[in-house]
Structure 1
Amino acid sequence: MSEFSDGRERVLTVGVAVARSGRLANLGDPLDFAMTLMEEKLAGAGSVGHRIRLASRDTRSSAEGARQAVDELVRDEDAKIILTLAGTRVLPAVADACEAVGVPCLSSAFPWQVYYYGRGADDNRPFDWTYHFCWGLDDIAHTFADLWERVDGRKHTVGCLWNDGPQGTWSRHPEHGFAPAARARGHDLLQPEPYREPATALDAHVTAFRDAEADIVTSAATGQDLALFRAQAAESGWRPRLITCSRWLAYPPSVTSTGGQPAQAGVGTLAYWTPAHPYVSSLDGMTAAELAEAYEQRTGRQWLQPLGLAYALFEVAAHALTTADDPTDRRSLAVALGSSRLRTIVGVLDWTAGPVANVATVPLAGGQWQEGTRHDYELAVVTSGQVDGLPVGGDLISG
């Protein structure tokens, strides 16, 4: 809680809303791990006369649990700022709850158009309390188009396997989504009716893509739904030359495999953070490679892309707490977040540059899940995209 711990030092609490149970529990690992690493490092990172403390609550992988987590962090822990990561329904619920009670919130791992326009903001009416850093749906489209154009060096008819949730809906948006950016690159998009998630049958999509000779498929599906699509495509005797997929497919196969060949095998995806990214932490100088290695050594599991985003959440929170005019005042902290420009372990995050108020962007490169040496499947960087200084680690493999 926010209190004088020894008569002189005030403790400032950073609240963390993290999935520890429910369907997103595995995907809460990066934030949980980053919090463990940061507890000691942040203890001495506050303003003069203040100490930073971390407190967390389980979102239980649900919107209701997310709202309860925010309520408890504010009421019971006196959190001055709340951090969260990932979850198509959970992240917006955390942010909306923070907006409602008037506490600064910082989040990531969610395309910024879905976060911003999907929660009701517009260019003339930004949020008061909630801030975010991520890539955009248009950035995904350009990254995937870089991959598509490596297949025979031409433009393609691309089958779009969209769900009926927020990311699928906004990917189809005629102005703010994935579709206009992909079409601007000269590709034709075939967009059948969206499927309900989790999918039970995707044979209609398989038939539509096969009949239209769409040799590339793109999606934002879960590993489970993409595995179903690939199985039904194989049963029909048809296979696309390349699949590109964002969202859960940025995680290693050990997280989303449904048995047999993992859904990610050969899939092109986003490379937003890897051990090869040329970035260091603003707090302690830790490199991307060192963070990935620390995760593997301590957990025995394969590194995860969201590790970088999770670590950067704490970097930005510490920056706001040390630069705010009054770090004990939530409004002052919100102002500090909105004026932040910081070099982090995921690159430069700059809220003064937009693209809209409340949002800073993360650059993307193109990756593909290929058979590896240390792990069964590893994310190979196949295009450096928007990331200056990122080495390409492999060639794109297509059918």
Structure 2
Amino acid sequence: MVETSGTSGGRVLTVGVVIARTGRLARLGDPLTFVMQLLEPKLRRLVNGERGYEVRLVSRDSRSTAEGARQAVRELVGAEGAGIVLTLAGTEVLPAVADACEEASVPCVSSTFPWQVYYYGRGASADRPFRWTYHFCWGLDDIAETFADLWDMVGGSGRAVGCLWNDGPQGDWSRHAGLGFLPAARARGHRLVDPAGYREPAAGFGGHFAAFRDQEVDVVTSAATGRDLALFRRQAMELGALPRLITCSRWLAYPPVPSAGEEPAQANVATLVYWTPNHPYRSSVDGMSAARLAEAYEQKTGRQWLQPLGLAYALFEVAAHALATAAEPADPASVAAALARTRLETIAGPLDWTSGPVPNVAAVRLAAGQWQPGRRHAYELAVVHSRQEEQLPVDAELLPLG
């Protein structure tokens, strides 16, 4: 951690934040931007034991690219003196931030990326963990368990489930024989029908429809983009082959945006629920409730609350906790050690880096939801099943897709 003198002569600790402000992931940067602005005045001073520190929050734009993310880390560490870096989301961007921090020997905390992809995808193993980079999220197996609960709800176990998976990282990790979604789903007794992965953006799904028809598939699971999911639904309607249920784990954290004369791709699609205004957790920084955070976002922006808000807020909670408990908050190795022993109740729920599932990773609980027509907004994320997150109330029944 780089420690400098502030205007009052005090010691200053700098927290760097990599945010997608421009490019294709700019919308994913909104929660982190909002939370940073909200927390900045609350985190200006930090106490570690008997020592007081001023805290600076400084951000850089990843430009939604891996190289932009690496450049952002270089600027935050080299020019701004950041001693801990935070980031959120992006299949290529998040690993690039973490790798750049690992190379720079600077602690990093990240979220909203399945932990197996974060951990094994970046080259770690059980006997060779990362030294500087820490993460909290759910796993691919957690996604499979959550979706299998929904598949069971529409017809019981042992059914054929069609896989709408691409030929890129999302599809490859979903079908991984040992670490991914596939073994967890099979362990629940389901038979997965996985035609050849499609190239994004998809031109059509004729091969998938043929395979699904032959195997009598009426439930589909997906990691498709919103564009490809919309194309699949449109072609399914034209063929009279709309499944009873679609579960999708990608891009579904963000509310559907209706367009004139066309139903949104996400409408009545089931997905993951990792944070809502109804989650019964509060911030360790200021006692902010999940409900109040969602309300603050809607009042400030005029837009519907977003699931990543809770995880974005928790990033800063974890950073503040590590700096406040590190033996020497100006020393990167000391801050990394504090992260490794962190057990913290956050606005996103309890996070515990001392219990795995692997070193450097804390687990986030999942529930199951569905984008249904709402009262306050065109579509709202209804919680339809919460076996893994028992404190979260179920507030709707699972609806058929059509």
TM-score (normalizing by structure 2): 0.96
**In the aligned structure 1, how far is the partner of 2:37 from the partner of 2:5?**
24
Distance 1:6 1:62 in 2: 35
Count how many residue pairs are aligned between Structure 1 and Structure 2: 398
Q: 2:354 matched to 1:352? A: yes
Q: Is the 8 A contact 1:206 1:232 kept in 2?
A: no
Q: Can you give the 5+ residue segments of structure 2 that lack an aligned partner in the other structure? A: none
Aligned to 2:222: 219
Could you tell me how far apart the structure 2 residues matched to 1:2 and 1:205 are?
A: 57
Equivalences for 1:96-135 in 2 at 5 Å?
96-135=99-138
Partner residue of 1:192 out of 192, 195, 213: 195
Letter of the 1:81 partner, please give it. I
Structure 1 stretch displaced more, 145-154 or 267-276: 145-154
Number of the residue aligned with 2:343: 341
- Note if 1:86 corresponds to 2:89: yes
Cα distance change on mapping 1:189 and 1:131 into 2, 3 Å: same
Cα drift, residue 7 of structure 1: 5.6
**Aligned 1:1-399 pairs, distance under 5 A:** 2-6=3-7, 8-47=9-48, 48-254=51-257, 260-398=262-400
C-alpha spacing 1:53/1:258, structure 2 compared with 1 (3 Å): farther
Distance 2:155 2:169 in 1: 33
Query: How far apart, in 2, do the equivalents of 1:212 and 1:345 lie?
Result: 43
Q: Give, in angstroms, the shift of residue 206 of structure 1.
A: 2.3
One-letter identity of the residue aligned with 2:196? E
For residues 258 and 119 of structure 1, the distance between their equivalents in structure 2, rounded to whole angstroms, comes to: 42
Q: Which amino acid aligns with 2:246?
A: I
TM superposition shift of 1:199: 2.0
State the AA in 2 paired with 1:266.
N
> For the Cα contact (< 8 Å) 2:46–2:52, is it kept in 1?
no
Aligned-residue identity in percent: 68
Native 8 Å contact 1:57 1:69 kept in 2: yes
Question: How many Å separate the matches in 1 of 2:262 and 2:25?
Answer: 22
Change (3 A) 1:346 1:199: same
Q: What are the ranges of 5 or more consecutive residues in structure 1 without an aligned counterpart? A: none
- Cα distance in 2 for partners of 1:261, 1:34 equals 31
1:322 maps to a residue whose letter is A
Once structures 1 and 2 are overlaid, which stretch shifts more, 272-281 or 1-10? 1-10
Sort the Cα spacing of 1:218 and 1:258 in 2 relative to 1 into closer, same or farther, 3 A. Answer: farther
> Per-residue CA shift, 1:68-104, capped at 9, x if unaligned?
0000000111001000000001001111111111111
In structure 2, distance between residues paired with 1:296 and 1:25: 18
Instruction: Identify the range of structure 1 (47-56 vs 258-267) with the bigger mean alpha-carbon deviation.
Output: 258-267
Kept in 1, the 8 Å contact 2:6–2:54? The answer is no
- Deviation sequence 1:45-73 (CA, Å, 0-9, x none): 34323111100000000001001000000
Question: Could you tell me how far apart the structure 1 residues matched to 2:16 and 2:344 are?
Answer: 21
What secondary structure is seen at the aligned counterpart in 1 of 2:396? coil
Cα distance in 2, alignment partners of residues 385 and 35 from structure 1: 32
- Letter of the 2:397 counterpart: D
Cα shift readout 1:9-54 (whole Å, capped 9, x = no counterpart): 1110100000000000011100101101110011123432311110
- Native 8 Å contact 1:277 1:390 kept in 2: yes
Which whole-Å CA distance do the structure 2 matches of 1:321 and 1:154 have between them?
47
State how far apart, in whole Å, the 2-side matches of 1:326 and 1:69 are.
Answer: 25
Given that 1:257 and 1:263 are in contact with CA atoms closer than 8 Å, whether structure 2 keeps it comes out as no
1:277-321 CA-partner distances (Å, limit 9, x unpaired): 111101111111110111011000000000000000000000000
- Aligned counterparts of 2:47 and 2:41: Cα–Cα separation in 1: 12
Alignment-mate amino acid for residue 40 of structure 1: P
| Cα drift, residue 163 of structure 1 | 1.5
* Aligned mates of 1:218, 1:45 — CA distance in 2: 45
Shift of 1:200: 2.5
TM-aligned CA distance change 1:89 to 1:375, over 3 Å? same
1:46 touches 1:52 (CA, 8 Å); kept in 2? no
Offset from partner CA, 1:126-174 (integer Å, 9 cap, x none): 0111100000000000000111111033432001111222222111111
Q: Which moved more, 1:365-374 or 1:155-164?
A: 155-164
Displaced runs of 4 or more, over 4 A: 256-259
